[in-house]
Amino acid sequence: MDFKKVSLSYPCQVGILLVSDSDIKKLNKLYRGKNKTTDVLSFSMIEGGLLLKESPILGEIVISLDTTIRQAKEYDVNPYQELLRLLIHGLLHLAGYDHEGVSKKAATEMKSLEERIYRRYLKEAASLI
CATH at 114: 3.40.390.30
Q: Is residue 27 part of a domain?
A: yes
Q: How many domains does the chain have?
A: 1
59: left (phi over 0), alpha (psi -120 to 50) or beta: left
Q: Which domain holds residue 28?
A: 13-126
**Each residue's pLDDT expressed in tens, for the chain with a length of 129 residues:** 344 565 556 677 899 999 999 999 999 999 999 999 999 999 988 765 555 556 678 899 999 999 999 999 999 998 999 999 999 999 999 888 889 888 999 899 999 999 999 988 887 766 666
The confidence score (pLDDT) of residue 108 equals 92
CA nearest 79: which of 127, 15, 129, 124? 129
The confidence score (pLDDT) of residue 3 equals 44
The confidence score (pLDDT) of residue 121 equals 85
Q: Is residue 122 part of a domain?
A: yes
Phi, psi torsion values for 6, nearest 5 degrees: -90, 135
Q: Is residue 6 part of a domain?
A: no
Q: Is residue 2 part of a domain?
A: no
At 97, the amino acid letter reads Y
- DSSP 3-state assignment of 17? strand
Q: Is residue 42 part of a domain?
A: yes
Q: Is residue 20 part of a domain?
A: yes
Residues in the chain: 129
Q: Is residue 75 part of a domain?
A: yes
Q: Is residue 65 part of a domain?
A: yes
The confidence score (pLDDT) of residue 2 equals 40
